[in-house]
């Protein structure tokens, strides 16, 4: 994923950099470096972002609005579970 794709995904989710970093279990500085192209995401973070991106329909709308619930609960495992249900 390019920095622009990562930034677009984060913005589509309407997440701040700190919240996006928390969701992925990384430091905010990592997200900054990914978005400006000075570093690559880890393979696990990349896979999660690809899975999240697949949860959007052709018009760019999120298939379910549960993403906010996931963020409030916090926890990558819950996010993955819900994405699997969406894509399932």
pLDDT band at 70 (very low <50, low <70, confident <90, very high): low
CB 20 within 8 A of CB 31: yes
pLDDT-derived band at 64 (thresholds 50, 70, 90) equals: low
Rounded Cα–Cα distance for residues 50 and 58 (Å): 15
What pLDDT, on a 0 to 100 scale, did the predictor assign at position 54?
Answer: 74
Residues of the chain by 3-state class (helix, strand, coil), percent to 5: 65, 0, 30
Q: What is the pLDDT of residues 12-38, one digit of tens each?
A: 887 889 988 888 889 999 999 999 999
Average pLDDT over residues 39-54: 84
Domains contained in the chain, CATH given: 3-87 (1.10.260)
Compute the mean pLDDT over every residue in the chain, rounded to the nearest whole number.
77
The percentage of the chain sitting over the pLDDT mark of 70, rounded to a whole number, equals 61
Which one-letter DSSP state was computed for residue 56? B
What is the spatial distance between Cα 42 and Cα 5, in angstroms, rounded to a whole number? 15
Q: Once rounded to an integer, what is the mean pLDDT over residues 38-57?
A: 82
Do 57 and 63 contact (CB within 8 A), yes or no? yes
């Amino acid at each position: 994923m390019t920095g622009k794709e990562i930034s677009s995904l984060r913005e589509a989710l309407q997440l701040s950099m700190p919240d996006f970093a928390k969701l992925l279990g990384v430091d905010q500085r990592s997200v900054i470096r990914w978005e400006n192209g000075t570093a690559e995401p880890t393979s696990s973070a990349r896979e999660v972002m690809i899975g999240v991106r697949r949860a959007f329909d052709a018009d760019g709308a999120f298939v379910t609005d549960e993403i906010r619930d996931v963020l409030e609960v916090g926890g990558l495992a819950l996010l993955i579970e819900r994405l699997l249900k969406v894509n399932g």
